[in-house]
Chains A and B, each alone.
Chain A
Amino acid sequence: MYVPVAERDGFPVRLTGALTNRGPCRSWRKFLLTSGSDRRTIRSEMTRPTANASAPSRDVQEKGVPSFDLLFRPSVALISIVRRFVADFYNEIVPDPDTASRLALSTHELLENAVKYSTDGDAALHVEIDPAAGTVAVRTRNRATASRIDRLQRSFAEISAAPSAAALYAQMLRRSAVQASGSGGLGLARIWAESEMTLRLVVADDEVEVHARGTIAAAE
């Protein structure tokens, strides 16, 4: 895990790690200063990532690509705060506003699901952008019930079997329109179709990771 930048028991958000070679520092600090009723001042310096086992990736350490990790306790208000922070982050890194909007949508949808179905109160978000390679990776992690995991696996099976993102989205729109309640996979279909990101599910015991990968215009 990264060296904590700001951490406090009972504070609803814990941010770990920090690095970055440009813009994100500004977004990061803004988020820290406004993410709760306790608007304390944080250290101004940014810590460097350590070589501990759960650092996000070798790319992050070696190339210093813009990235961040968030681990926080579920709260609807916090999801929106995180989305705004993430949108700022994307707008800073990604030159095309349309692409930044697509990424913000997918991040919000993934995070909301992670928060909604977390069984232990924690939800984690990892975002990593490699402007040189033109790739973006978003990952959420949470613990979930067996029934939720089963539901997710069925949704991902539908994604795998679908002929196209548009076809699955159309199917999910129709299904959602008549569904009384519950999760029907609309959010995932929306990510695939509207955000143009590919999705992957990783399950280990009761821990669920949803990965979304997409492309951005590579930096010149």
Chain B
Amino acid sequence: MSGQSSYLKQFSKSKSGVAGLVLLVILLVLSVYVLLAYPPNIASTWNNPKSWQSNPAKAPPSWIGYLGQDVPSTISFPSVQWTNSAPQGGSTYNYSNSYSFKWSSSKTPSNIVFTPQFKGTLLEAVVTWTKPDGQSLVIYIGSPQPNNIYDVTDQSIVQWIHQFIQSQTGSLQATVTTPDELSALFDRDGPNLLSNPVLHGTYHVRYDLVSQSPVSVSQATSLKVIGTSYGIMGTDLYGRPIQLGVLLGLPYALELGAVTSVVAVLFGIFFGGISGFIGGRRDGVMQWFTLVFLALPALPFLIALSYSITLDLLTEALLIAALSWPFYAIIARSVALSVKSQTYVEADRAMGISSLRTFLTHFMPRLTPVSIAYTVLGIPAGILLAQTLAFLGIAPPNIVTWGGILDEAFVQQAALFGWWWWVFFPGMMIVVVAVPFVLVGFALDRIVAPKVTAK
């Protein structure tokens, strides 16, 4: 059959179809990347607020800084070489390291996080904070626990900052908040410390670790200056990066959409095609059967079912397919009817050719391209339904879904508080994923449709 290659040629002429195909490949590559790059249990990390403690909460995306808003982004220093010196006087081992960062915003960051990671026992650790004008203060003296997270809300750091505030301003109010403590670290020194402007320039943070025995300090010992903006898509109320959630939701969405659509379209096209082909009383019965399933309201029915069945991805996809095939059966039946009225079908019958052969030679070649087009168009419909279910709180466990992220945004009243990034990006992903499929599907449909209806 030369039909298939001519379809391909026609498809390559459709600009929007090709654009859709390119987008599709990009999405597929991205989801393969997600599956390879993140462990399978990433959803439990995602759902654990503790994992995101060191991220700024409800931070807008960093790029809005370019639109004129002063939102310092997060600066992170994960790995720096530690210098160690041999025991001096035969008593102690000293390790030290200094982090430097440039600060050009006139706002303070939202937090500073230290994560000391080492093996062994420390005698003492000292952290010294030096401002661009050379003034320095000690912000920590003590023996930290390895792998603990220390930040500016931590009492062991707060007490040193409070001491510094008192030494500068001469008094310490009872209500010193975290922003005040950060101001103390970033503002120019003086009696008006907390209302002075933020100093621009290079800050230095020096760690000095002292131990009686050799300690292995991990490269992962880090310092994080938490800004008030984060990444491409910002963070939610718990500091989870929306961009990560959006990425993690991608493979699930595509997988579910594809399975749903293939199953529903294959069944629907066969059912409707045969129904239109055989006609008569049996066609009536099959149409009635289609109606029975069409009348099941997909969303409420799936919600009710979720109380009887534990959903996993495959069950969910098959259930959605079981509720969406009638749409394709109706379309396939009308295609079959239009083929049936053609003269070559009557010629077949007149020549006594078996009806199975007629079905395979005349109906299937016309139903196949239609089914390909509708499979492609059906994928976003499946994705949409699954995300809507997730928004209502029904999704397979241990899977990150865009609908679920949006449900949380809804519950936390993100729209009211103006956290638009939390609402916009996950929802936009549903559209971003749907559009290439619809573009390809429409291009296919346009190629296929005239051949079917042509008289």
Are chains A and B native binding partners rather than an unrelated pairing?
no
Binding site for B on A (CB under 8 A): none
Binding site for A on B (CB under 8 A): none
